[in-house]
Amino acid sequence: MTQARKISVDPSAVADRLHSAAIHLLRRVRRQDVATSLGPAQLSALSVLVFGGTMGLGELAAAEQVRPPTMSRIVAALERQKLIERTSDAGDARRIRLRATPKGQKLLHKGRRLRIAYLAGHFQKLSAQELRALGEAAEILENTLRNWS
C-alpha cells in the first residue's frame, strides 16, 4: 500500500499535508462523539478536568485555548448536567475550583472509548511499522505543541 517513496522534508509541504489530514481526520471522528450527547468543546474540557484534576476557569480556558467567556458557558453546561462541580476557593473568593464528578468521569471514559475505538478500528488495517510512524508523529507533535512559544 504505502511503498517507499520520497517524503518531503520541506516544512511547508509537511505542514500543509498534516494540516489537511488533521482536519479531515477530526471531521470523521467527530461523528462518533454524538453518542455521548456532549459537544466537542464540552467533551474536551471535561477531559482536561478528568485528567488534569481540579483547576480554575482561567486555567481551563488557557488549556483549551479559548477565551474565558467561552469557557464560562461550556462550564455552565457541564455543571447543569452534573458532570462537573464548582467549589469556592478558600483564600481567593474570585476564583472557582472546578472538578469532574464521578458521573463526569464515567461519561468521559465511555465517550473516549467509543471515539478511540472508532479511530483504532481504522488503524487496525495498518502495519506495525505504519503504526509506529504514527506514534512517532504524535510524539513529535506533542513536543512541538508543548514548546509552542
Partner DNA sequence: AGGAATTAGTTAGCCATGCTAACGAAGTAT
Partner DNA sequence: ATACTTCGTTAGCATGGCTAACTAATTCCT
CB of 103 to DNA, least distance (A): 17
Among 52, 53, 69, 135, binds DNA (CB under 7 A): 69
Under rule CB under 7 A, residue 63 binds DNA: no
Interaction site with its own copies (CB under 8 A): 1-2, 7-29, 44, 64-65, 112, 115-117, 119-126, 128, 130-145, 147-149
Under rule CB under 7 A, residue 74 binds DNA: yes
Under rule CB under 7 A, residue 119 binds DNA: no
Report the C-alpha gap between 113 and 119 in whole angstroms: 10
Residue 133 partner contact from DNA, its own copies, none using kind-dependent CB cut-offs of 5 to 8 Å: its own copies
Decide: 46 and 80 in contact? Cβ < 8 Å. no
CA–CA distances in Å: residue 125 to residues 1, 13, 87, 92, 130: 11, 26, 46, 53, 10
Decide: 44 and 112 in contact? Cβ < 8 Å. no
